[in-house]
Amino acid sequence: MRDAPGNFNLLHRTCSLVVLLCLLHISVTVIYYMRNSDLRQTFVQNQQSPQIHRKLAEQRVTTEESPQRLPSVSNVTETERKLETCPDNPPRLVGPLRVEFSDPVTLDLVRSENPVLQPGGRFKPTECIAQQKVAIIIPFRHRDEHLKYWLYYLHPILQRQQLDYGIYVINQDGEDTFNRAKLLNIGYAEALKEYDYDCFVFSDVDLIPMDDRNFYKCYNQPRHLSVSMDKFGFRYFWSLLTVVSCRGLMVYFQPPDSIYLYFYGSACFHRVSSKGMSISRPDGVIGRCRMIRHDRDKQNDPNPQRFDRIAHTRETMASDGISSLTYNVVNIEKDQLFTKITVDVGKP
């Protein structure tokens, strides 16, 4: 009987602890919910179609470029000399974007919506001098449907980001096993032959950013742009998978660090860390991306040797990079929207 108050005390404490834990849980949930609803509001505000964004953007450009702000010098070189470097926060960015793949898109539509592009999918802002010259490299084979959406969404975003950029679609010739890593390296080498790019972005053709504040440019460290993917329900836990493997990727390296070849997602991580670098990322909201759903392609099965290769990255990376790259260019096509380089990558 003397134990009864003791038992009661224990029970009392346990209950208090449980109540406390519940409260803690509820407050965490509420905070998380509120942060998300903030996001939803911004998202709803930006629920206009990309065309409307563009129209708005164009209107803003015309107001910004009102005559009194333009240099009143007739001499072109004089005007050029007066241009300043583009700002860190380009004025025409709109933030969260609506990205969907239900309406069909044609290349002609994308061409007509991007009249300012130079052949090869090249662009450079006229109102300021771009901070970086960015080559965007897309590994490619039989994904024309995805490429249309990619171009449709990305061109306007990259222009709003005021980048001096070019789009390189590196198309693997033939039907042998798809070699994404090699295509990226080829893209790097081929782009450098055309222009003195100082930044390289590698993007899958089926990955679209959902916020134009996610810059396709270089930072001090290699950057992983596709931080949180709709494919994983944007859930942090699953996004971690994306983060650890640099999945979907879009990392860049500034030369001379580009001397690398990444066979598989995780190998990129080894390469980066073994050079004493770390990976920089946008936050989980700005870094949201949408991935076009698709079946696995023929000749693109996961490589059975991938774990072995990743394990040996440190030993092999010095010799399997750009320096050992061999391939044959089969064709170069200059479209208004992209440069498509068809290459024979040789046997795997």
Residues in contact with Mn ion by CB under 5 A are: 206
Rounded least distance, CB 143 to Mn ion, Å: 9
How many Cα neighbours within 13 Å face the side chain of 266?
11
232: left (phi over 0), alpha (psi -120 to 50) or beta: alpha
- Interaction partner, residue 121 (Mn ion, ligand UDP, none; CB < 5-8 Å by kind): none
Rounded least distance, CB 295 to ligand UDP, Å: 9
The closest residue (CB) to Mn ion is: 206
Rounded least distance, CB 7 to ligand UDP, Å: 57
| CB contact at 8 A, 86 and 129 | yes
| CB contact at 8 A, 130 and 63 | no
DSSP symbol at 275: T
Report angle CA 233, 239, 242 to the nearest 5 degrees: 125
Q: Give the residue with the Cβ less far from ligand UDP, 86 or 157.
A: 157
- Interaction partner, residue 212 (Mn ion, ligand UDP, none; CB < 5-8 Å by kind): none
- Interaction partner, residue 106 (ligand UDP, Mn ion, none; CB < 5-8 Å by kind): none
Helix (H) or strand (E) holding 202: strand 199-202
Q: Give the residue with the Cβ less far from Mn ion, 204 or 320.
A: 204
Q: Give the residue with the Cβ less far from ligand UDP, 204 or 320.
A: 204
Rounded least distance, CB 297 to Mn ion, Å: 9
Rounded least distance, CB 232 to ligand UDP, Å: 11
- Interaction partner, residue 312 (ligand UDP, Mn ion, none; CB < 5-8 Å by kind): none
Q: Residue 24 corresponds to which amino acid? A: L
Q: Give the residue with the Cβ less far from ligand UDP, 208 or 286.
A: 208
88: left (phi over 0), alpha (psi -120 to 50) or beta: alpha
The token pair that represents 118 in the structure block = 């130079």
Rounded least distance, CB 291 to Mn ion, Å: 6
Rounded least distance, CB 297 to ligand UDP, Å: 3
Q: Give the residue with the Cβ less far from Mn ion, 295 or 315.
A: 295
With a CB cutoff of 8 Å and minimum separation 6, the contacts of 76 are none
Strands 228-229 and 199-202: unpaired
Q: Give the residue with the Cβ less far from Mn ion, 127 or 145.
A: 145
Q: Give the residue with the Cβ less far from ligand UDP, 53 or 148.
A: 148
Rounded least distance, CB 187 to Mn ion, Å: 17
Q: How far apart are CA 98 and CA 340, in angstroms?
A: 27
- Interaction partner, residue 143 (ligand UDP, Mn ion, none; CB < 5-8 Å by kind): ligand UDP
With a CB cutoff of 8 Å and minimum separation 6, the contacts of 70 are none
Q: Give the residue with the Cβ less far from Mn ion, 206 or 212.
A: 206
Where do contacts with ligand UDP occur on this chain (CB under 6 A)?
138-143, 178, 180, 204-206, 248, 297, 300
Helix (H) or strand (E) holding 57: helix 50-64
The sheet with strand 133-140 has its strands ordered as: 199-202, 133-140, 164-172, 339-344, 328-334
Q: How far apart are CA 182 and CA 348, in angstroms?
A: 10
